[in-house]
Structures are given as C-alpha cells and as structure tokens.
Amino acid sequence: MSNKGYTVIELIVVMIIFGIITAVTLGLTSHALDENTEEYYIVKVKAIEAAARKYGSTLEEVKTEGSKVVTVKDIVDAGHFSSDNANGDVIDPRNQKNTMNNTKVRITYSEEKGYEATLIEEE
C-alpha cells in the first residue's frame, strides 16, 4: 500500500511549528515598532510643520498680522498635507487611535526668517 499524502498528525505538527515561529517573530517585531513610534511621531510633526509653512504662505493674514493659529485639519483641507484615511483624519502614531486633526499649529512670518510653523502641544 503506497501513501500519497500527509497524516493529520503531520499536518498538526507543522501548524504548531508555524505557530511558534509566528509568535516569536511577532514578539520581536512588536518591540521594535514600539521603539520607532516616538521617532515616527517626530517625523510626522516635522512634515506637518513643513506643510503649515506652505499653507501659511497662501494666507495673506499671516503676512499682514505676523502670525495665525490653524489646525492640522485646515492644512489637510487646503491640500497641503495628506490624511491617513478616507475620512480625512491624520492619525497620531503614538497610539493609532487619536487623530491629530484638532492639533493647533502656529504659523508666523517675519522678514528675516520668512514663514515658520510650530505645532502647539496640548497638555
């Protein structure tokens, strides 16, 4: 009698081995992602500030008044920063649940420095 397949025991053993490999891999990579979360937040803040500078250059009141406070949603709605989902939300990478849409950005203008933008951290 010739065997042309695998037994149920052999398949279960292979599935257990794959499960162990997956668990170890996820354990190692999730720790690495946690370490990079704060760095990704800093990169995202810098990108928002760069987009805010571009947005500020389109607003006449920034130049005439010297500064203006806008929200991240204003910058997204103006097309200067891309949202993270179809709802127009900019997701906070530190927890993946909160949006940064209502986070305020101060845009300033001076003859010496040009347009500058600073994210206003909520306390």
Tens digit of each residue's pLDDT (9 = 90 or more) over 6-35: 889 999 999 999 999 998 888 777 666 666
Q: For the chain, give the longest Cα–Cα distance.
A: 91
Calpha distance 56→116 (Å, rounded)? 8
Report residue 32 as tokens. Answer: 């690495």
Q: How high is the pLDDT of residue 33?
A: 61
Q: How high is the pLDDT of residue 92?
A: 87
Q: How high is the pLDDT of residue 53?
A: 93
Cα 41 from chain centroid? 6
Report pTM: 0.69
The type of residue at 7 is T
| Ranges of the chain whose pLDDT falls below 50 | none
Strands across the sheet containing 104-110: 67-71, 104-110, 114-120
Q: How high is the pLDDT of residue 1?
A: 54
